[in-house]
Amino acid sequence: MKVLISNDDGVFAPGLKTLAELLEQEHQTLVVAPDRNRSGASNSLTLDRPLEANRHANGFLGINGTPTDCVHMGASGLFEMAPDIVVSGINAGANMGCDVIYSGTVAAAMEGRHLPLPAIAVSVAAYQPKHYETAAAVVRDLLADIRSLNLAPRTVLNVNVPDLPLSELKGVQVTRLGHRHLGDRPVSTQDPRGKERFWIAGVGDVADRDPGTDFFAVDEGYVSVTPLHVDMTQYSGMDNLGCWLEAL
């Protein structure tokens, strides 16, 4: 297969390197990633300036933009390969529950939704992972038979892997997204010139880690695979909304 690899941790991230080195053994690969860490960039496109692409000694392309920019450009055929699939990662830190709204890792995969095969976003559930190679092996195994997977068009697989040796994984579970509580308030600070500035605080605590959720699976030592879809319509609410609008 022709695999476009991207991420949101940046073109020099160890997870990206581990993933690319394994997948290039079996597939034609192209790596296009942000030139720096763009975690939390979500699905943003850069529209207020032109972008630059710089090829590094290892062949990876670094773009001075967002993860979505990288896949948008890489999937277009600009860089001598028209990919069949996008694989985004390996992210340092899980992308579960509400995290997917903000995640640049998931956004990069989402930008590959129009390609022939379902895009994959892959994360390790640790902020300082010790076992990137485990997540890379999981992706390798998913790609081995992905052509036979029957899913709705524009589906993305969100994969979260416990930070364990491959031999210690208990298996794979199909999961739904869990939920988090609201994050902490932004933290106020003062720069050396006396101007007040703010740090966005960390994510909220987990509110729903019931069996069947991505949080539960990873906590129990399983790989979580959640099918995501770009269609954010809440179909169950359409009838109630229609009745409410008619009454206005």
Q: What is the pLDDT along the chain (248 residues), one digit of tens a residue?
A: 999 999 999 999 999 999 999 999 999 999 999 999 999 999 999 999 999 999 999 999 999 999 999 999 999 999 989 999 999 999 999 999 999 999 999 999 999 999 999 999 999 999 999 999 999 999 999 999 999 999 999 999 999 999 999 999 999 999 999 999 988 888 999 999 999 999 987 788 888 889 999 999 999 999 999 999 999 999 999 999 999 999 99
- Per the rule left: phi > 0, alpha: psi between -120 and 50, beta: everything else, 221 is left
Q: How many residues does the chain have?
A: 248
Q: Which residues contact 123 (CB under 8 A, 6 or more apart)?
A: 89, 90, 91, 92, 93, 94, 95, 105, 135, 159, 160, 161
CB 69 within 8 A of CB 43: no
pLDDT for res 129: 97
- CA 227/CA 158 separation, integer angstroms: 6
- CA 37/CA 47 separation, integer angstroms: 19
DSSP 98: T
Residue 246 in tokens: 């008619």
3-state secondary structure of 131: coil
Tokens 């050396």 found at: 192
pLDDT for res 200: 87
Question: Phi, psi (5° rounding) for residue 195?
Answer: -85, 135
Q: In which order are the strands placed within the sheet that holds 155-161?
A: 53-55, 61-63, 28-34, 2-6, 85-92, 119-124, 155-161, 222-229, 171-174
Query: From the CA atom positions of the chain, what is the Rg in Å?
Result: 19
pLDDT for res 105: 98
> For the chain, what percentages of helix, strand and coil (3-state, to nearest 5) are there?
25, 25, 45
Residue 195 in tokens: 């101007």
pLDDT for res 153: 93
- Helix and strand numbers (H, E) in the chain are 7, 13
pLDDT for res 202: 77
DSSP 8: S
pLDDT for res 27: 98
Nearest to 3 by CA among 136, 153, 148, 132: 136
